[in-house]
């Protein structure tokens, strides 16, 4: 019996070691779950447009403007959240953001005027907008040897927030409540979960940063971050794990989110230069017709994507006559196929960025044209297949867009240049819901979606012209590495 004791103790110690090893990823898991919640709150609104119209008696234009407000505030938080993180710490900013967003969600528990909904949406935009930029910075510091994998996990978890939101709407729609609208349960649950995540995060995450070198800790103010997702410390982490970093995409979300570009931009902070580049250096990039053409293409794509994700569920119920539950399930599939970005990122490394970009945009354009053309005559299965194909093309384009831009701009000003482009993309994405909402009521939903199809088609033609005229320009191939 005494002979077995050492073995038993050894097995127990091994199990404890394994648990301890998994425990070191608590900050990563919690940060990813908060990002999941942020995406969940953002994409819960489009499937709820029809119930919201029933509750408040408002038009598509008004709802589109409200969602545009959400996205504008979200976009506006990118820069100040990074600056605040440099001054008061990433933990504080992330915690404050999730508490703010969760509190706003809980404002919708009880019946209230439409103005309260608008205010809650704006506050949610501010709270969720504070997360992405600061989270990448924190993960780069907490996991310096595994930064690429950590960010891959983080982005993947966030993506499924867009998958879960429509499903949650379908579930609550099946409930019958006598005293309150069932859609409010979505925000009650999100708000409570958010507060729990905030408590766990502020308790667990500081322990991960406590193990980082002093010069990389969260309160270090020597490296002042810009508006991008990562600062100078993130760049050091990337250097240590270059082979582990996959291609990433933003935007989320409207993407609005080019998350890939902001991550790249953070690797070349302006502060690294002996003298900060002036505005003219960024402006000169747009004198290059090829660069300007590609930026215009990305703006057109961003407009289409964000207009589509804002009104796709309502379009399918109003124009195609689908049940709300069916429309929301199809809408969920639009995000589920985002894993295609892992494939297109790998393909871009092998064959170059422009061929993958043109292929992805072509798929997205043709699929959206088919989606609009078949509205009213195609079955739910056909329309669902077309919308999923739009998702494949759109998600396939987003990570490669960042790689192309990174290769297109001089390294010395890549951070600011990509920041300028991202601002343009976020602006186009933010105004899209308002424009689509207005057009849906003045000329009809189908003409509004034809405008979206035309916009992504323009993006496709511009990129195809770039490929035909000079397919080797800014190409990200193995020869250039």
Residues 142, 98, single domain; the answer is yes
State how many domains the chain has. Answer: 2
Best CA proximity match to 385, nearest among 344, 453, 337, 440: 337
- The pLDDT of residue 98 is 97
| pLDDT 10s digits, 141-185 | 888 777 766 776 887 788 889 889 999 988 888 777 656 678 899
- On whether both 313 and 172 belong to a single domain, the answer is no
Does 379 share its domain with 469? Answer: yes
Q: Mean pLDDT over residues 199-225, rounded?
A: 62
Whether the Cβ atoms of residue 121 and residue 70 lie closer than 8 Å to each other: yes
Q: What is the mean pLDDT of the chain?
A: 78
> Above 60 in pLDDT, residue 28?
yes
* Residue 19: both structure tokens together: 């648990």
Q: What is the pLDDT of residue 430?
A: 86
Calpha distance 432→71 (Å, rounded): 10
CATH number of the domain encompassing residue 310 = 1.20.1250.20
Confirm whether 19 is domain-assigned.
Answer: no
**pLDDT for 310-368, tens place per residue?**
999 999 999 988 998 899 999 999 988 888 877 887 788 788 889 999 999 999 999 99
Beta partners for residue 256, in sequence order: 251
What's the pLDDT at 258? 39
User: Do 215 and 288 sit in the same domain of this protein?
Assistant: no
Task: Write down which residue in 189, 215, 246 finishes a domain.
Answer: 246
Mean pLDDT of 35-63: 92
- Tell whether 238 and 265 lie within a shared domain: no
Domain membership of residue 42 as a residue range: 24-246
Do 266 and 143 fall into the same domain?
no
Instruction: Looking at the structure, tell me whether residues 187 and 278 fall in a common domain.
Output: no
| pLDDT tens per residue across span 65-83 | 999 999 999 888 877 887 7
Instruction: Give the C-alpha separation, 464 to 165, whole Å.
Output: 35
Last residue of a domain, one of 214, 246, 278: 246
Compute the distance between CA of residue 481 and CA of residue 47 in angstroms, rounded to an integer.
44
Q: In this structure, is residue 17 part of a structural domain?
A: no
% of the chain with per-residue pLDDT over 70? 72
Domain end among 246, 263, 282: 246
- Cα distance between residue 390 and residue 189, in whole Å: 30
pLDDT at 207: 78
Identify whether 296 is part of a domain: yes
């Amino acid at each position: 019996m005494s002979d077995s004791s050492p073995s038993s103790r050894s097995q127990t110690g091994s199990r404890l070691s394994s648990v301890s090893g998994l425990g070191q990823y608590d900050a990563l898991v919690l940060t990813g779950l908060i990002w999941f919640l942020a995406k969940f709150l953002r994409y819960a609104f489009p499937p709820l447009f029809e119930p919201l119209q029933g509750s408040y008696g408002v038009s598509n234009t008004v709802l589109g403007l409200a969602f545009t407000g959400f996205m504008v505030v979200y976009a506006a938080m990118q820069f100040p959240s990074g600056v605040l993180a440099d001054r008061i710490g990433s933990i504080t900013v992330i915690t404050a953001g999730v508490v703010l967003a969760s509190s706003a969600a809980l404002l919708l528990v009880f019946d209230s005027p439409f103005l309260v909904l608008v205010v809650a949406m704006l506050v949610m935009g501010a709270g969720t907008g504070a997360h992405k930029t600061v989270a990448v910075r924190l993960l780069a510091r907490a996991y310096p040897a595994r930064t690429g994998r950590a960010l891959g996990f983080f982005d993947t978890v966030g993506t499924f927030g867009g998958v879960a939101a429509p499903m949650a709407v379908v579930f609550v729609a099946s409930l019958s409540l006598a005293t309150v609208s069932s859609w409010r349960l979505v925000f009650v649950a999100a708000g409570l979960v958010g507060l729990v995540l905030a408590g766990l995060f502020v308790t667990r995450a500081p322990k991960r940063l406590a193990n980082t070198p002093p010069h990389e800790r969260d309160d270090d103010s020597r490296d002042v971050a810009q508006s991008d997702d990562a600062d100078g410390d993130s760049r050091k982490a990337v250097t240590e794990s270059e082979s582990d970093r996959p291609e990433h995409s933003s935007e989320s979300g409207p993407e609005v989110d080019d998350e890939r570009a902001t991550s790249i931009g953070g690797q070349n902070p302006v502060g690294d230069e002996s003298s900060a580049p002036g505005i003219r250096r960024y402006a000169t990039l747009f004198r290059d017709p090829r660069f300007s053409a590609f930026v215009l293409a990305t703006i057109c794509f961003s407009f289409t994507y964000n207009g589509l994700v804002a009104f796709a569920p309502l379009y399918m119920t109003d124009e195609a006559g689908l049940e709300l539950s069916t429309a929301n399930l199809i809408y969920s599939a639009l995000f589920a196929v985002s894993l295609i970005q892992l494939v297109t990122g790998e393909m871009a490394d092998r064959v170059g960025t422009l061929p993958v970009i043109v292929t992805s945009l072509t798929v997205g354009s043709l699929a959206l044209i088919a989606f609009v053309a078949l509205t009213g005559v195609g079955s739910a299965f056909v329309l669902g297949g077309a919308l999923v194909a739009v998702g494949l093309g759109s998600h396939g384009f987003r990570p490669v867009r960042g790689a192309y831009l990174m290769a297109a701009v001089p390294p010395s000003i890549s951070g600011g240049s990509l920041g300028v482009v991202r601002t343009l993309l976020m602006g186009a994405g933010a105004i899209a819901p308002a424009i689509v909402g207005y057009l849906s009521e003045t000329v009809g939903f189908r003409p509004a979606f034809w405008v979206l199809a035309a916009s992504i088609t323009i993006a496709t033609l511009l990129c195809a012209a770039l490929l035909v005229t000079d397919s080797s320009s800014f190409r990200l191939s193995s020869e250039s590495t």
